[in-house]
Amino acid sequence: MSFEALGDLSGILKELAARSDVSIIILASANEKYFVSHADLDDLEQVASGKPVAGERSAWRTTPALIEAIPQPVIAAVNGQAWGGGTELALACSVRVAAPAATFGLPEISVGMVPGAGGAQRLSRLIGTGRALELILSGRKVSAEEAFRMGLVNAILPNRNFRQAVMDWAQQFARHDFDALVANKRAVTEGARLDFEAGLDLERSLVIPRTASPRSAELRTLLMKRYAAASPDDEIDF
């Protein structure tokens, strides 16, 4: 993943962010062996030596930040290798799913480097400081199964028709009201950066407009009708 490619990705994301007909964005690779193998090492060497590179040098910071900031939830669909910059890009996404053969890792320490695209910050917030330090200080790779057990990955989906499996899995989110998806993503991602009381204030600022919206009122009415028609043993589908 080069600086230039990250800039291209940012351009696509900005276009999608402006569309209210796009509920969920899935970030996937056309190559079944690689999600993103790692950052473009030639780019990094050019920067280290003070030479110019194609694209913006800040892209490894701004593009993951954009993934977090755009209204829609973003799913990282990881098939194959996602090391270094690949794991960092996946960490910026709202949730992550993996094919069984996917592998993750932040091996920068092995070449005397430090994760430079938010990996140390996002990984520790996702799986805890101790586990993050163990992975970063060892530089070891983890399988999809281990990544799932530690909370790095939300689900492992079949290799066969992996992309379609991701699309099907994403329907649990995409079926909900667009504005509600956006508000709930904000509540979690922005709230995670705030202290607890400020997070509660953010929640309240999001709850009141949603509660007052005609769409929310319509959905609540439909839900109450389902409750009224259900027997005590029925499971209500939200």
26: nearest Cα among 170, 185, 188: 170
- The reply to whether 108 belongs to the active site is yes
pLDDT digits (tens, 9 = 90+) for 154-172: 999 998 899 999 999 999 9
Rounded Cα gap, residues 74 and 14, in angstroms? 13
Residue 187 has pLDDT above 70, yes or no: yes
DSSP per-residue letters across 164-209: HHHHHHHHHHHTS-HHHHHHHHHHHHTGGGS-HHHHHHHHHHHHHH
Q: Which two tokens mark 29? A: 């690779």
Options 15, 45, 56, 88, the catalytic residue: 88
Check residue 237 and give its pLDDT: 63
CA 194, CA 198: separation in Å to the nearest integer? 6
Confidence of residue 76 (pLDDT cuts 50, 70, 90): very high
Domain map (residue ranges) of the chain: 3-174, 178-229
Q: In one letter, which amino acid is 89?
A: L
Supply the pLDDT for residue 108. 87
Q: Among residues 68, 108, 134, 190, which one is catalytic? A: 108
Average pLDDT over residues 18-35: 92
Q: Which pTM was predicted?
A: 0.83
Q: Which fold has domain 3-174?
A: 2-enoyl-CoA Hydratase; Chain A, domain 1 (3.90.226)
| Residues 66, 111: Cα–Cα separation, whole Å | 28
pLDDT digits (tens, 9 = 90+) for 188-213: 998 888 989 998 988 888 887 766 67
